[in-house]
Amino acid sequence: MLPWRVRHYFRDGITNHQYIGHEQRERARALRRGSTPAESDAWQLLRARRMLGLKFRRQQVIDGFIVDFYCAEHGLVIEVDGGVHDDAAVAAYDRERALVLKCRSLKLLRVKNEEVSRPHLEAMIRSVLPEPPSPSGRGGRG
């Protein structure tokens, strides 16, 4: 059996066999504490299986990148983008991250701050899922 520290860093799921360093974990925690109003609104819609019964994590580390929201069950990443993403350097970083996520066979959805709403998020999610879950469903839970 691996020691606790090693098991903590090499967890199952998307981070399987990936080292998540102390700095990355602290950065993800800081991003959760200092989320933008749009990210907070999106989290209120996505958390606790409120959106189509899907479980989302926020500020998930994937291959060294921190994504806003991640649904492991469907390999779905949602990024909430503000005006800073219009900057050329940030846009280049976003393209690089999108390629890494695509190589992991993850689906990436980008939503602008002003578009964060239940109907818009639900429509976007339904558009990329092969069999969209029912709105009242809670996943596979009985």
Q: List, for residues 99-135, the tens digit of each pLDDT value.
A: 999 999 999 999 999 999 999 999 999 999 987 666 6
- Going by their DSSP bridges, the two strands 107-112 and 65-71 should be labelled as unpaired
Residue 142 falls inside a structural domain:
no
Euclidean distance between CA atoms 56 and 81, whole angstroms? 18
Tokens for 20? 């998540």
Euclidean distance between CA atoms 95 and 89, whole angstroms? 10
Of 88 and 138, the one with more pLDDT: 88
Measured from the Cβ of residue 71, the count of other Cβ atoms closer than 10 Å reads 21
pLDDT in tens, 35-69: 999 999 999 999 999 999 999 999 999 988 999 99
Residue 141 falls inside a structural domain:
no
Of 20 and 103, the one with more pLDDT: 103
Number of domain units in the chain = 1
Report long-range pairs for 9-13 (Cβ below 8 Å, ≥24 apart). Answer: 13/72
Please say if the pLDDT value at position 142 is more than 50.
no
Residue 118 falls inside a structural domain:
yes
pLDDT band at 31 (very low <50, low <70, confident <90, very high): very high
Domain span at residue 87 reads 4-128
Q: What is the pTM of this model?
A: 0.80
Residue 138 falls inside a structural domain:
no
Euclidean distance between CA atoms 73 and 66, whole angstroms? 18
Of 139 and 58, the one with more pLDDT: 58
Residue 30 falls inside a structural domain:
yes
> C-alpha angle 65/68/73, rounded to 5°?
90
Residue 103 falls inside a structural domain:
yes
Measured from the Cβ of residue 45, the count of other Cβ atoms closer than 10 Å reads 16
Euclidean distance between CA atoms 142 and 138, whole angstroms? 8
Across 73-84, average pLDDT? 92
Residue 19 falls inside a structural domain:
yes
Q: In this predicted structure, what is the pLDDT of residue 138? A: 54
Residue 88 falls inside a structural domain:
yes
Domain containing residue 78: CATH number: 3.40.960.10
